[in-house]
Amino acid sequence: MAIQRTLSILKPDATRRNLTGKINAVIEGTGLKIVAQKRLQLTQAQAEAFYAVHKERPFFGELVSFMISGPVVVQVLEGEDAVQKNRDIMGATNPKDAAPHTVRAQFAESIEANSVHGSDSAENAVNEIKFFFAEIEINA
């Protein structure tokens, strides 16, 4: 498997509870490298655009409100099989279903406030990284 990049977001429940360092330690423990990172307060329009794929889902409005309820940390992770490796360490969407060692099992508050986002395919990763970062900001 080649070196790959994926987009990760530490969500507002994680920044509010001062968990960014703990979550980054889990990410770095997998061998993935954080090659770009910034803390942002998303606007409603930005959150709606980022989650546009979910706009017909019943939870869309609440998800957008949650994602703008405080700052997020957006990051690019790089390494072998980065998309799947990050999905594995995130755990299931609902923390009740997440395997014990995962970020969501350890830290998530609920199915909505589940601490992290991670791209779910290589193709989505390319687009999600472009949404937040210029190439000059990504440094391995």
Does residue 114 touch ligand UDP according to CB under 6 A? yes
Least distance CB 3 / ligand UDP (angstroms): 22
Asked if 73 interacts with ligand UDP (CB under 6 A), we say no
Catalytic residue among 47, 117, 119, 125: 117
Q: Is the distance from CB of 3 to CB of 76 less than 8 angstroms?
A: no
**Alpha-helix runs per DSSP H in the chain:** 12-16, 20-29, 44-50, 60-67, 82-90, 103-107, 122-132
Is 86 an interacting residue with respect to ligand UDP (CB under 6 A)?
A: no
87 marked ligand binding residue: yes
Phi/psi for 41 (5° steps) reads: -100, 110
Active site residue 101: no
Q: Per CB under 6 A, does 119 bind ligand UDP?
A: no
Among all residues, which ones are annotated catalytic? Answer: 117
